Amino acid sequence: MQQPSVGTGVAVQEEHRLGNSLNSDAARIIPNPAINYATLHYSLTEANFVRVELFSLLGQRMNTIFEGKQLAGEHTLSLPLQNIPRGVYVCRLWVGETSKSLRLIVGD
């Protein structure tokens, strides 16, 4: 499986589609900008392994939010932001070998 990487100049809303388990049009973060928390909403068309990570724009992994198998359907994950400094981040959603990057603004 391809390992996630985020580097300088990573494009937000970037998508690498190697499979079709992720309904990428349904992936979103609410609220955005956020202060103490945000919620990631996404949809799976079939059961698959899911990993959600938060990266700085410099590529530093700030947090692994979730890692595990999920069934098909609508999903939500809470993104705890209490210890994340103010700034712009990339939330990387991996479903199998498909990934989607979503921009997240953390304010105060």
CATH number of domain containing 73: 2.60.40.1930
CB of 92 within 8 A of CB of 55? Answer: yes
Q: How many domains does the chain have?
A: 1
Q: pTM score, two decimals?
A: 0.79
Q: Tens digit of pLDDT per residue, the chain (108 long)?
A: 444 444 433 334 444 444 567 776 789 999 999 999 999 999 999 999 999 999 999 999 999 999 999 999 999 999 999 999 999 999 999 999 889 999 999 997
SS3 39: strand
CA distance 12 to 100: 9
Q: Is residue 6 part of a domain?
A: no
Q: Is residue 8 part of a domain?
A: no
Residue-range definition of the domain harbouring residue 71: 15-106
Q: Is residue 60 part of a domain?
A: yes
Query: Distances from the Cα of 32 to the Cαs of 5, 8, 80, 88, 93, in angstroms?
Result: 23, 22, 13, 10, 16
Q: Is residue 5 part of a domain?
A: no
